[in-house]
Chain A
């Protein structure tokens, strides 16, 4: 589904990703762990098409099509969803309005019928229950004045509405207390299917107690330095990141 080959990415004159390889198949859950500054967020942003990153070598393909030169909205329409580490607060833009615009843009692109306001509201009300988001937040401006936990739940809720094939969770666990973390993880687990793949980018192992990954990769110095199963995450938790790459 997603294939990253020898990906080199620079911001200005600084090379951040230095030849990264990663293959994600449908239904798989991949965790990407690594110390601060290892390039985790860069990887999430580059896949999602954020401006300001220069791909100097290599390629990212999604369903056998290169997405390196695609716009963020085109990547979203192709079925990629990025849950932000810091979801933007957008005062003045209603949550439901934004999400309907997003879903209908996607449907328009896929030549599906757009949902009108009442159809959309009905659709959304079912989704909101399943991720445990307070229904009142739907009519509020996007993330505006939301608590840290509410913002992350809102990301998962948006994911449930847009139904992506690949979801990238960028440090979704950051800033959450243990109860909020469990809730968010539960929301994500409900969205796991045999068709949908996940990339979970995280600094800590604790989220992986609740969302069990098929693969754990350690990102170090712009490359995947080590790949293992869930036990690798536990080892990283005990020993830190320094030993990776020593073997």
Chain B
């Protein structure tokens, strides 16, 4: 069944000839790990709602340079983010495009360095791009297959004034496997906002397997938003965050469209005072499957976590939220709260939501709640009795439901676009 995936793993080895020895080793290790564990199927508890067989059976190709061509028109229409005042970083098929990116070299700009440049000038920093080793198949797959990697650093005590827009585009011909890899270093007391957007311009059976690593050093503040919203394709997102003393990460995931979307978010609160706020919003209007799995590890005392995930599922779509919270032994004053609120807009749409709390310490305040409901008929009638047409009334109520998850997002255009998607579909 997975012979096609094994074949693509072999492709990876042959493509890496010019790479330094350490990187070849890293990739081989990752492939060995994958081979020993195998790719997950719906028989694995963690993946039971996520059907990947179809993509496993597809002959995927690794993009070559000839694929990495994109007209300006296509580029401009690809993104949902239309705000002008952003630092723009563009990756085509996972490869950083200096020509298309817009970073202006000022003191307030982030420091952005791709893999090749680092291998040449700072080999030690290059190794750092591949130093994280989350023990998880798709993260290994990214390590094995990423043709490039981007290091974004924010110097100590600096605030990056404008949000950084990271646009990942998958394009070319035929079915592809694209593996963008981004490493974000927020140094002590720095502040930055990032919007990672993933766009698939390829046919149905392509896979974007993205890995993002965020390291929030002491006292830093990272606002991170991830948007995956293509009309088709498979998307696996792997986000790994480490949060140090008194640092704070806000991360939002907006997921809609696509065939199958699986997003794994892992946050480790490593030192006292570390905190994280996770929010998410997933929206299905046809037959999409959108699955968020989050894991928050409280590894130190005085750490806080807060999660709010909202799903709106119409048509025949399926939504999944699984939120694991792990509190390690012998730590104190830990607060964790988790909410999963979902709205079903059709009789056949589905939501599966599950909290998973593993708590090995006593001094913990932990709250979780999950709701699944339909649009309130009385509220709809109330608005209609005021003269608001049914479709608009329902749209207003869905908008209101999503507001909490969207309130942190710094770009208005994305909110508007989301509501357009809902309005255009026949779910209301």
A-to-B contact residues, CB < 8 Å:
48-51, 71-73, 75-77, 81-82, 84, 87-88, 90-93, 98-99, 101-103, 105-106, 109, 141, 158, 162
| Partner pick for B385 among A48, A92, A109, CB 8 A cutoff | A48
B390 with A92: CB separation less than 8 A: no
CA distance A158 to B385 in the complex (A): 11
Tell yes or no: B417 within 8 A of A by CB: no
Residues of A within 8 A of B376 (CB): 88
A76 with B400: CB separation less than 8 A: no
CB distance from A207 to the nearest CB of B (A): 21
CA distance A230 to B404 in the complex (A): 50
Residues of B within 8 A of A75 (CB): 385
| Partner pick for A51 among B377, B379, B383, CB 8 A cutoff | B377
Residues of B384-415 contacting chain A, CB below 8 A = 384-390, 392-393, 396-397, 399-401, 403-404
Residues of A within 8 A of B383 (CB): 90, 98, 102
Given A73-B390, A76-B387, A102-B388, decide whether A90 and B399 contact each other with a Cβ distance below 8 A: no
Tell yes or no: B381 within 8 A of A by CB: yes
Residues of B156-200 contacting chain A, CB below 8 A = none
B384 with A91: CB separation less than 8 A: no
B400 with A90: CB separation less than 8 A: yes
Residues of B within 8 A of A90 (CB): 379, 382-383, 397, 400
| Partner pick for B399 among A92, A105, A106, CB 8 A cutoff | A92
A71 with B384: CB separation less than 8 A: yes
CB distance from A53 to the nearest CB of B (A): 11
CB distance from B428 to the nearest CB of A (A): 14
Residues of B within 8 A of A109 (CB): 387
Tell yes or no: B378 within 8 A of A by CB: yes
| Partner pick for A76 among B384, B392, B403, CB 8 A cutoff | B384
CA distance A50 to B379 in the complex (A): 12
Residues of A within 8 A of B389 (CB): 73, 105
CA distance A92 to B407 in the complex (A): 11
Q: From B385, B389, B401, B404, name the one whose CB has the most chain A CB atoms within 10 angstroms.
A: B385
Give 9 A-B pairs besides A49-B385, A76-B386, A92-B403 with Cβ atoms closer than 8 angstroms. Answer: A51-B381, A71-B390, A73-B385, A73-B393, A75-B385, A84-B385, A88-B376, A92-B400, A102-B388
Residues of B within 8 A of A82 (CB): 385
A98 with B396: CB separation less than 8 A: yes
| Partner pick for A106 among B377, B387, B404, CB 8 A cutoff | B387
Residues of B within 8 A of A98 (CB): 383, 386, 388, 396
B397 with A72: CB separation less than 8 A: no
Residues of A within 8 A of B387 (CB): 73, 76-77, 102-103, 105-106, 109, 162
| Partner pick for A99 among B377, B381, B384, B386, CB 8 A cutoff | B386
